Structure 1
Amino acid sequence: MMELVHILLPVYNRRAVTEKFIECLCAQSYRNYHLLLIDDGSTDGTSEMVSERINNLTVLRGVGDWWWAGSLQQGIEWLKRNAADDDVVLFINDDVTFGPEFLMKAVELLQGYRGMLLPQVLNTRSGCIEESGVEADLRKLTFKTASSPERINCLPTRGLFMYLSVIKQVGDFFPGCSPTICLIMSTLYALIEWAFLYGHHQS
């Protein structure tokens, strides 16, 4: 089944950075994707550059007051109105680069599992895994890269795949609180808690 992948990409005045991301997207072997570009008031031609390269594209335009969480929430609201529950959603930053099989492998891994998928982030300079989940202590408001998969209790959005149906069950971001990272992370913490509960319930 060729599931549709909606890619939520917040951008703001980083045309050169975003262009590298778009180059990776254009090279994908999996073509059933829709890019939802959430441009919070860029003045450097970012949206125009993307529009020239990507056909299956929707651009949401802000005026500079959405910030990061607000931009993602705008994307979620658009999806609730326009996408199907069994569509795949990818939250990702514009400074992430990836190989041509990235989307294909993710869709293959998600099939048969109605949860979420977080790829590992590789530092291309050092060759080391930089991020594969976060260990959060919300009482102390501290966040660090998890030392093992068992210690992951919080998910970053540097390449987070999930079905829209899961997003609807978990809930929304807190755009009015951005850029307060603790409240954003609280939402992601809820996501991973839901994933563990759902996975244990299904097994």
Structure 2
Amino acid sequence: MLYIIIPVFNRKHFTRECLISLRKQTSQAFRTIVVDDGSTDGTDKMLAEEFPEVEVVTGDGNLFWTAGVNLGIRRALALGATRVMTLNNDVVTAPSFVAEMLAAADLNPQAVLGALELDAATGQAIYGGERLDFRTNTRHDLLLELPAEQRRHLQPVTYLPGRGLLIPKAVTDKVGLFDEKRLPHYLADFDYTSVARRAGFPVFINYEAQLSTYPEESGQTLTRKHRSFKGYYQHLFGIRGGGNMLNFTHFALKNCPPLYLPYFLLNGYARRLVGYFLH
């Protein structure tokens, strides 16, 4: 059984649209767990009144993404999950999303799977997976580099985001849960999928499964809209900082081959120091 884990903190309008899209799935072979980490905007009331089929696990407001996801996964495994999927609340799933993910999972039962992401406003594809060259810290965007005829089915990638991430129980059995101590918010998803890949599990982007996202609502985008020295500090050192230096260091130490680590770290630090002002 597939359990979908959705961590939320406020923004109930996004949560509502996400859950409505799950109700419209052509395959209903899943259950949903929402981890409500101390929302103060009436999310709890909305879930109870409008989505009684959803199981709710609550936090105290200090879980952040990683611990919230882990709390939901633990609950799912206790309920007998054979697969779990992490899903952000600010996504809308296409009607065939779950069916396509389950079809791919049935054919590749050991694989970690992600989905093609579209911009909710334009319908344009905006994320189709990456391959990272650790030697040069160069990211190869598959949407840009793959010919159109190859942007189908499953494509191998280095890592995946957690916005629609299917994980077989075999992976959690072998590598455990997300690294909530060292990576409480950003990079925990890329780290986990990279660790799983290095442990021998295939990691694929599934171009047949699609979901829509709101890129302008991401924490990194919002921070950069109003640049300031305080924002710069938060970018580099805050828990929600997209350029958090400590998080990047943990990711590098865990995943970069030792031979390439010095350059990878120096290059990554430089990008984070200047990137806040360039994007």
TM-score bucket (shorter structure) = 0.7 to 0.9
Q: Provide, for residues 82-141 of structure 1, a one-character-per-residue CA deviation record: whole Å limited to 9, x for no partner.
A: 224xx2311111111122222122212221321232111011334332112234567998
- Higher fraction of helix: 2
Q: Rg bigger for which structure?
A: 2
* Equivalence for 1:13: 10
Closer, same or farther: CA 180–63 of 1 in aligned 2, 3 Å: closer
Is 1:112 equivalent to 2:118 in the alignment?
A: no
Instruction: Give the alignment's TM-score, normalised by structure 2.
Output: 0.60
Local SS of the residue matching 2:47: helix
Q: Provide, for residues 29-87 of structure 1, a one-character-per-residue CA deviation record: whole Å limited to 9, x for no partner.
A: 22232111101100111132123233432211101111000101111222332224xx2
* Equivalence for 1:164: 169
Distance in 2 between residues matched to 1:57 and 1:89, nearest whole Å = 15
Is 1:101 equivalent to 2:96 in the alignment?
A: yes
Choose 176-185 or 6-15, whichever is displaced more: 176-185
Check conservation: 1:155, 1:191, Cα contact below 8 A: no
Instruction: Give the alignment's TM-score, normalised by structure 1.
Output: 0.80
Is 1:195 equivalent to 2:201 in the alignment?
A: yes
Choose 51-60 or 38-47, whichever is displaced more: 51-60
Q: Provide, for residues 129-156 of structure 1, a one-character-per-residue CA deviation record: whole Å limited to 9, x for no partner.
A: 2112234567998877555577721111
What RMSD over aligned residues (CA atoms) do the two structures have, in Å?
Answer: 2.7
Letter of the 1:113 counterpart: N
* Equivalence for 1:201: none
* Equivalence for 1:90: 85
Distance in 1 between residues matched to 2:68 and 2:167, nearest whole Å = 18
Unpaired runs of at least 5, structure 1: 198-203
State how 1:1-203 maps to structure 2 within 5 Å: 4-84=1-81, 87-114=82-109, 115-136=111-132, 145-146=141-142, 147-148=144-145, 152-179=157-184, 181-182=186-187, 184-193=189-198, 194-196=200-202
Check conservation: 2:112, 2:193, Cα contact below 8 A: no
Letter of the 1:38 counterpart: V
Choose 60-69 or 182-191, whichever is displaced more: 182-191
Distance in 1 between residues matched to 2:173 and 2:59, nearest whole Å = 23
Local SS of the residue matching 2:91: coil
* Equivalence for 1:200: none
Letter of the 1:121 counterpart: E
| Greater relative CO (CA pairs within 8 A, separation 6+) | 1
* Equivalence for 2:238: none
Identity of aligned residues (%): 25
Check conservation: 2:36, 2:57, Cα contact below 8 A: yes
The count of corresponding residues between Structure 1 and Structure 2 is: 192
